[in-house]
Structure 1
């Protein structure tokens, strides 16, 4: 989608601090970090939200979580703990209409989140 900020990041039209990339997904540091480690993981396929996933996207989501487990190990937060968040819809706090997961860690994360 031409007006999607995450699609522009995927297409390298907007710079980002990429921490992982392959043919299916990209992970980069959030520019508005809420924790010492705050990484966004997005599929390269434009899917506007979890509500718009198709049956065929199951393997993509599985791949995302496999890579999350590698990223948290690399960032040194696997043992201390981290949070994976997906905001879905307006009331869920979704501000970008492109499926994405936040990985937060590096400090004590309180509950409830907000």
Structure 2
């Protein structure tokens, strides 16, 4: 686990949380800081960052993660009421290098969307066969059984 109260020397998000680096803060409380993304996808792009240093989703406790997502929900609602151009909202988590995480301090992106903006997610959206989906669901259930969120009773699927 990579969660700790000792921040890494070069973590820019830890420096922002500590008030040692510039940031345009939209919200802060005792567990998170929400600030404007310097490399914004669209105007109004907010990052919600836990004060506690954690590299990724696997490294963050559920209570803190839940709070990050709760604040992300509130920021998304606020963007719609903000007067900024906002026809939709994306809430985005990049967890790990393969998922395009660039700063290895857990953070949630919340940004407004509008027709003609430049953000794209491109993939092969092919429909998967049911037997493959069933196999994948089984693998996820197995993974859940190895976490603290596994059901206390066997599933009835």
Q: How many residues align?
A: 111
Structure 1 runs, 4 residues or longer, greater than 6 Å off: none
Q: Is the 8 A contact 1:10 1:26 kept in 2?
A: yes
- Of 58, 65, 72, which residue of structure 1 is paired with 2:62? 58
Whose RCO is larger (CA < 8 A, sep 6+)? Answer: 1
State the distance in 1 between where 2:68 and 2:122 align: 23
- Of 67, 72, 77, which residue of structure 2 is paired with 1:73? 77
Q: Which runs of structure 2 are paired with 1:1-114 in the superposition (5 Å)?
A: 1=7, 2-53=9-60, 57-76=61-80, 80-108=87-115, 111-112=120-121
TM-score with structure 2 setting the length: 0.63
Gaps of 5+ in 1: none
Instruction: Give the helix-richer structure, 1 or 2.
Output: 2
Q: Please, what is the CA RMSD of the aligned residues?
A: 2.2
TM-score with structure 1 setting the length: 0.85
Q: Is the 8 A contact 2:50 2:107 kept in 1?
A: yes
State the distance in 2 between where 1:34 and 1:77 align: 19
Instruction: Give the strand-richer structure, 1 or 2.
Output: 1
